[in-house]
Each structure stands twice: as C-alpha cells, then as structure tokens.
Amino acid sequence: MRGDGVRVLIVGGGVAGLATVAALRTWGATMDVVERTPGPTDSGTGIYLTGNATRVLDVLGLREPIADVAVEITRQRSTNQRGRRLFDIDVAALWHGVGPCVSLPRAHLHRALLDGIGEIPIRWGRQPVALVREGDLVAVEFDDGGTERYDLVIGADGVNSSVRRLAFDGQPARSLGQYAYRWLAPRIDAEPVWSVQLGRGKQFLTIPISDEQTYCYYNDGAVPDRPGWRDELGATYPEPAAAMLKALDSDASTLHAGPNQEVVLDTWSRGPVLLVGDAAHATSPNMAQGAAMALEDAVVLAESLVAAGNLGKALRAYEARRRPRTDWVLGQTHRRDKATGLPPMLRDTVLSRLGERMFRSNYGPLFAQP
C-alpha cells in the first residue's frame, strides 16, 4: 500500500523515532513528529554500533556521515577484574560482509539522524497525554491542550514510553537489578579496542569514541547513586579505571546514571497504535543491540507497510517478522548477564575456554538480514 492520505504520528525524537521517520519518508504519508524534550542537545555519552546497525544506516543513506565521525572498532577484549585476559574477538572479521562496528558520541549519531529526516519538522517539548480510539482513528490529546487525529500512532519514545503507558495498560519496564554509570574521559589508548573488565555481577567498559574521548560504562547493584561507587570502582579494577574516573573530577557534567531495564510485551500493537525500539523491547545493554534493533525496526516497518494491503495487516506482518529476532536478543542478554554473574573463578574458567565460541553464538543469527 501507499501512504497517500495516511496521517502518522511518531512520538519520540531519539534513534528509534528519527530512524522511523527516515525510513518512511518516501512512503507518502503525512508525518508529525513530537518529542518531550525541549530541543536537540549535544549532551550524552557514547554509543557502540555493531555491524547489523551500520548495515541499516547504509540502507537509510546515513553510513557515510556516521563513518566520518566514528571510530571503527576492530577488537573486543574481555578480562577479569584483575586485568587477566579471558578472550579476544576480532570483530572486524566477525562482522565481515555485514558492516563495520563503530563507536561515536551519541550526539553525533543523533545529529546525523536529524539530518536524515530532511525537512520533516519536529515539535519539541510536546508529548501525548491521552490516546482515544475513534473508529479507525486515534484521537491524541497533547500536553499543550491540542487534540489531533491520526491513522497510525508510533510510540518510539524509549524504555519509559508514554505511548506504552497510555495505550498498553500502563505496563512498566522491568528492573534488571543493575544501576549503570556512563561518562566521558580522555582517550589514553591509540588502539581501537572495546574493552571490558568483569567483576562479580559488575562490568567496567571502555570504548574509544573519537581521537580525544573514551566512553566509560560501569554497572553496579540496584541501589541508585550508591555512595562510594567511585572509590569501589577505582580500588577494584586496575588501570585505566582510576584514570577514567579522574575525568569526573574536572567535568562531572558528562556523568549519566540510571537503572538498566527491559520491556517484554505480549503484543506491540493495540489497533492503530504501535511500539518500536526500546518502547517495545528494551533489553540489558550487554549485547549493544538497543540502537541496532531500533534501526532494524524502522526499515522492516517501512517494508511491511509497503507490502501490505492495509495498516492492520502491515502491523501484524511487521511484528511476526521482528519478534524472533528481538526475542533472540532478549534471551542472549539474559544468558550473558547470568554468565557474568557466576562466581569469579568459575566464570573465568568458562569464559577462558568457551568465551569466543559463546560470543559468536550470541550474534550469529544477527548476521542475516532483518
């Protein structure tokens, strides 16, 4: 079907929302985009995109602007908390034929996606407060008092989605018992390596995202902003942990902290209301698939809308195609979190012997087209 005469509301101006706009630009529908934040920002930390994510950026025509500002990651390294190497992965070889793995400041990805939607405007500082079915349409009341009607409402507004809250019985995200700290620090290693040091149920990760900066990630227990987490991290892990923490002494504004959560739903659509990206299927970040799944969602949704005879068939076909893939990622994140939570001696033995094989198994199905 063509989108001529179809009116679509996309809620969310992040990766999922902007990718959806970019994918649907040529479909022919009239698209409105709203985002609750007051405007685009250069804040945020870093992001790592695996080969299946960069493959979709190529489809959207965004691979080149991303490559211009990204670091291509060629190797992933896993060590224990004392720095003993457990296993390495040549990710350039692993993802060969799919796409390169890259890292970059999250703000640069957002800027490229904004450029990718062309002249389609975004209503910043606006979000829905009520969704009411009126036959085949959805009446959307916004927080500025306005009400408009749409043939399709797409909730691309993240793990704490307002669309999910309004249209899916308020189903909340699930806590994973992890509280994560993310920040930026100077780059101290010239080698383009993604590196993680594993503690018991904890991880300290560093990824170069530019010539000057490193993205740092540390997950702790479930207690928010636990006092002393910095002292514990510096005392538990060898360098570069202490050096990375010093960056917060001079610029704590780069620190972003919050719980890791997942979203598991029986269905992603309620009539003409659809959830995509983290709003539909957020997972633990340990496979770095949040952005990848959102980008894939956008392209598959566009293909499903073109191929189907009506919106209802399109949404059913979309979910039938996407669920096996997102369910795989969910299952693998559970397995990886469980493995890193093993007693350190057992974990180190298992990962030293089987880590590379397990890693390849985790990602294998994602090499295929979405």
Output the domain CATH number for residue 125. Answer: 3.50.50.60
Phi-psi region of 44 (alpha: psi -120 to 50; beta: other; left: phi over 0): left
Token code pair at residue 279? 């709003």
Per-residue model confidence (pLDDT) at position 13: 97
Residue 145 placed within a domain: yes
Token code pair at residue 277? 């990206």
Predicted TM-score (pTM) of this structure = 0.96
Enumerate the β-bridge partners of residue 75: 90, 193
- Chunk the chain into consecutive blocks of 10 residues (it has 370) and report each block's average pLDDT, rounded to whole numbers: 96 98 96 96 91 97 93 96 95 97 96 94 97 97 97 98 96 93 94 93 94 95 85 90 92 92 97 98 97 98 97 98 98 92 92 94 96
Tokens 């994918």, located at residue: 23
Structural domain total, the chain: 1
Residue 228 placed within a domain: no
Give counts: helices (H), strands (E), the chain: 12, 19
Per-residue model confidence (pLDDT) at position 181: 96
Residue 127 placed within a domain: yes
- Report the C-alpha gap between 149 and 131 in whole angstroms: 10
Per-residue model confidence (pLDDT) at position 201: 80
Residue 32 placed within a domain: yes
Amino acid letter, residue 148? E
Token code pair at residue 49? 């995109």
Cβ(35)–Cβ(12) below 8 Å: yes
Enumerate the β-bridge partners of residue 262: 174
**What's the domain range around 20?**
7-173+261-367
User: At 347, phi and psi to the nearest 5?
Assistant: -60, -45
Per-residue model confidence (pLDDT) at position 341: 86
Residue 286 placed within a domain: yes
- Report the C-alpha gap between 8 and 120 in whole angstroms: 12
Per-residue model confidence (pLDDT) at position 28: 95
- Report the C-alpha gap between 134 and 141 in whole angstroms: 13
Measured CA to CA in angstroms, residue 220 lies from 23, 55, 287 at distances of 37, 32, 17
Phi-psi region of 42 (alpha: psi -120 to 50; beta: other; left: phi over 0): alpha
Cis peptide before 192 (omega within 30 of 0): no
